[in-house]
Amino acid sequence: PPSIKGKYIKIKYITQLPNTQVPSFVYFANLPQYVKEPYRRFLENKMREKWKLTGTPINIYIRQK
């Protein structure tokens, strides 16, 4: 992702939330408050492409590591 105020966002890891009807994923990053909507859509589209989730709703949460 692009830098914001000279700081780069680093995604540490991702996990899937258990027991949810909709596939839900949590990204752990160093600066989650700087992750903007276009980058969230990019992450969602890459997940759909990688795991063939076309047509399936996905919830993405970004939290502090």
Region 3-20: mean pLDDT is: 94
Boundaries of every domain in the chain: 11-64
Q: How high is the pLDDT of residue 22?
A: 95
Q: Is 32 helix (H, G, I), strand (E, B) or coil?
A: helix
Cβ atoms of 53 and 24 within 8 Å: the answer is: no
pLDDT, tens only, 18-56: 999 999 999 999 999 999 999 999 999 999 999 999 999
Q: How high is the pLDDT of residue 4?
A: 87
pTM of the model: 0.88
Cβ atoms of 23 and 53 within 8 Å: the answer is: yes
Cβ atoms of 62 and 29 within 8 Å: the answer is: yes
Q: How high is the pLDDT of residue 64?
A: 96
CATH, range 11-64:
3.30.300.20
- pLDDT at residue 1 tops 80: no
